Structure 1
């Protein structure tokens, strides 16, 4: 966290909060010359600094000295947001004891729950949900806590969110669903959990690609294996291509083998009238495609 230094006393309060120097913090606050809610030019408070830095006793001291728990920084962040982002569950619980709200959002739409979900703090997510955090929070681009957890591969958090009512197919504004994002990132265990909880295997983004198409292009074979268990489309997609075309373009031989083994059609042309074999010069892939085509004719 960066902040602007103000008066020497305020600067000393920030320093004590950041370093966890409880004795100095108490001395400064008890002097009557500096307020517990002193701010810098970004509206950062000492409570935010202590919460971010994970100093429980300093956080508690500031609260007992009258610090406003729900003040927002210029960016919209609160002490609860910072503690959640950094995974300080003991401080999150303390803030809730003194009235912290989960409703505040950053300028980008971020909340304490979205931050904890993105950064993989499962215990914090659990605490936030127990204290009224909205599982349907969305960033300005439409990303939900579930989407962010899927993007980063946090399986335990995904289970928490789904059990709390998160919508498994809720897309971002560009049509990207959690399953698509997990597939792109190669998180096979996340893909498995999402599929078992009802994710639409053939949901496409605005560009017409599906989770299987993206996994095939990226060569994420463990993801391809999970998706194939749910019989996804192997034909032409809304983007005018197929998963086999994507695998061939990606150049991963194992991906091509998996798709051919699932009966992907090597004679299917894309919107440009290209066969999968027209999209590569890889000899191993070309031999696989020709063999499959020969078997199909026999």
Structure 2
């Protein structure tokens, strides 16, 4: 539905959803004075607010009243995106049961699976993959769910994604891989797991920087130790060195 100027009834419905007040939601919706999918200036619906707060009863009430589980904000984020971000497994499953698109993308290409990986919500990640989420989907910059998990050091999530066939060396548009970003961030356990899964130790970003270079530059000694077990090249910035000559 198109956005219009919010009425006092719209505002009250939004506030009730944000508070998780399912009884007040029912009263307001049954009054006929407000639409279940009324939007604010950012395109946010009551269902999105209730899902973002993890309010299961409010989400249930809104869905029963006909709320669109795939309604999007101006950023193209949905109720499922925010439920996944918050780690609200019950809400995630409820939304999917009512037709929420599992791999719905935000304007930057991020999916609910991405934010669950970013925030470390293992149970949500497992459930979403079981419900059909694509483990190899990527954002506009090429980052995959595996990249996001590696960036944040969530090893158990890495393992789940790898078990589901996530591509170990899938690179961002700048050439950085999950191993590269894990090395830069100092996540030695993630580095160890990725190397064990077959990640290429000498993968380079487009500027020529290797995982070993980034680990050394940042002073991540534990990461350096893990990388050295796989005999990386010690010519850690060949491209830059050639250009500078």
Q: TM-score, normalised by structure 2?
A: 0.94
Match of 2:11 in 1: 11
- Please tell me whether Structure 1 or Structure 2 has the larger radius of gyration of its CA atoms: 1
Which contiguous aligned blocks of 4+ residues in structure 1 show a shift greater than 2 angstroms? 235-241, 270-273
Match of 2:128 in 1: 128
Q: CA deviation at 1:272?
A: 6.1
Match of 1:171 in 2: 171
Q: CA deviation at 1:30?
A: 1.5
Q: CA deviation at 1:240?
A: 4.6
Q: CA deviation at 1:41?
A: 2.3
Matches within 5 A, 1:110-189: 110-189=110-189
* Alignment gaps of 5+ in structure 1: 242-269, 274-298
CA distance in 2, matches of 1:239, 1:150: 25
1:36-95 CA distance string (max 9 Å, x none):
111112221000000001101000000001001111111101111110111111100111
State the structure with bigger RCO (CA 8 A, min sep 6), 1 or 2. Answer: 2
CA distance in 2, matches of 1:236, 1:115: 32
CA distance in 2, matches of 1:169, 1:88: 30
SS of 1:25's partner is helix
User: Contact 1:175–1:205 (CA<8 Å) still a contact in 2?
Assistant: yes
Output the aligned Cα RMSD: 1.7
* Alignment gaps of 5+ in structure 2: none
Matches within 5 A, 1:19-30: 19-30=19-30
CA distance in 2, matches of 1:76, 1:53: 18
CA distance in 2, matches of 1:240, 1:13: 58
CA distance in 2, matches of 1:58, 1:236: 54
Q: CA deviation at 1:237?
A: 3.9
Match of 2:98 in 1: 98
Q: CA deviation at 1:33?
A: 1.4
Q: CA deviation at 1:137?
A: 1.3
Q: CA deviation at 1:271?
A: 7.4
Match of 1:200 in 2: 200
Q: CA deviation at 1:121?
A: 1.0
Match of 2:215 in 1: 215
Q: TM-score, normalised by structure 1?
A: 0.78
Q: CA deviation at 1:5?
A: 8.0
CA distance in 2, matches of 1:79, 1:178: 28
CA distance in 2, matches of 1:236, 1:90: 47
Name whichever of 15-24 and 176-185 sits farther off: 15-24
